[in-house]
Amino acid sequence: MIKRRVTSYDVAKLAGVSRSTVSFVLNNVDMQISEETKERVRAAAAQLGYVPDAAAQALVSRRSRIIGLIFTRAPHHIDDDIFLTQVLDGLLQTTQKHTMRLMLDLVEESSSAATYFELIQSKRIDGLIISCPRADDRAWRGLVEEGFPLVLMGLVPDRDICCVDVDNAAAARTAVEHLVSLGHTDIGCITNAPLSYPAAAERLEGYRSVLAAHGIEFRQEWVRYGDFTLESGYARMCSLLDQRRRPTAVFVASDVVAIGAMAAIRERGLRIPEDIAVVGFDDVPFARYATPPLTTAHLPAAELGRRAGEMLIDLINGRQPDEPHVLLDTHLVVRESCGANLLSGSAIHSQPDSVPAAGL
């Protein structure tokens, strides 16, 4: 026997109110309804296991209950980037909590403006999150001018634009300082992405600032520019190893890029960390299972997605966040790829040491 679907009429009957009142309460429509009545409606809905119909909710609230997430990447960048899947997991937790859905899109440089405004004009979404906005992309500023709810996952100087990020430069400084503390002065760098992405530029600046602080010469020939992928890490590391004088350590500003770099080192018959120490950035899940386990700056990826989602939902509901610019904490996770265990003479334990990032 098929169980009859619970309707708003059933909730209204149990709560002793009209169906309109049920609709207003469960869709958070701003009406003059007492808290006692609201609680009675919610209790009745919970008791009956009532699930509001999405189409009906949209009609009442004039909202789609969908938020958009845009990755400013080419499709092939997404294949390897486990960090983005962690961000997505945190964001999905938030949308599910608020009974909303998520629309995902990829935007490359040439199509950004058209895609942003198409999403708004079609009214398919209530708000938008842009992950890793590029420094040369100003299309999203038009959304702010239109008053459209927008959150960036990436720090921007404009105080009127909501964003969530980490202090990339500080986390990079902590990673490179660790290499210096181990005795390295010949330290190369492979960025996570082209410098048109602010996070890449900030991580490179963190690397350079540590060298300057210790009077270590900055060598442009020891810097390479990654492109989010394993392949780019492999190719850039090969290029570094082709130098007449190669570095004894390398800071790679992405774990995904670092895994590719480590493959190139091993292919040349070199040992990690005995011949070249490696420190990554992100602390994606597979970092601890790399060969050897990868020392890396830990970023709270899922929390990044969760906080961006909560901030956007506040904006959609007409609430201005108390903190429009949020910086999440990072720390260094020390494993075997940097060589710290060689100095101590003992293996790194399964619970790695953590070093707080400077400046956070």
Task: Give how far Cα 336 sits from Cα of 286, 293, 346, 352, Å.
Answer: 14, 5, 10, 10
- Kindly state the tokens that stand for 186: 């010949």
Rounded to an integer, what distance in angstroms lies between the CA atom of residue 228 and that of residue 81? 7
Rounded to an integer, what distance in angstroms lies between the CA atom of residue 82 and that of residue 282? 10
Angle at the Cα of 165 (from 350 to 115), degrees rounded to 5?
A: 120
Three-class DSSP labels, 138-167:
CHHHHHHHCCCCEEEECCCCCCCCEEEEEC
H or E stretch at 168: helix 168-181
Per-residue pLDDT of the chain (360 residues), as tens digits, is 445 667 878 888 999 988 778 877 876 665 668 888 889 988 998 888 776 654 444 444 456 788 988 887 666 656 666 788 888 899 999 998 888 889 887 776 555 556 666 666 555 788 899 888 776 666 666 677 667 889 999 877 666 788 999 999 999 999 999 999 999 999 999 999 999 889 999 999 999 999 999 999 999 999 999 999 999 999 999 999 999 999 999 999 999 999 999 999 999 999 999 999 999 999 999 999 999 999 999 999 999 999 999 999 999 888 888 888 899 999 999 999 999 876 543 332 222 334 455 433
Rounded to an integer, what distance in angstroms lies between the CA atom of residue 51 and that of residue 229? 42
Rounded to an integer, what distance in angstroms lies between the CA atom of residue 330 and that of residue 327? 9
- Kindly state the tokens that stand for 84: 């983005």
Distance of CA 104 to the CA centre of its chain: 14
Q: Which residue has the tokens 């906080």?
A: 307
Looking at the whole model, is its pTM more than 0.95? no
As beta bridge partners, residue 129 has: 69, 151
Q: Which residue has the tokens 């999150």?
A: 129
Q: Which residue has the tokens 């499709």?
A: 75
Q: Which residue has the tokens 């040992």?
A: 271
Strands laid side by side in the 162-166 sheet: 101-106, 66-71, 127-131, 150-153, 162-166, 325-328
230: left (phi over 0), alpha (psi -120 to 50) or beta: alpha
Is 71 within 8 Å of 132 (Cβ atoms)? yes
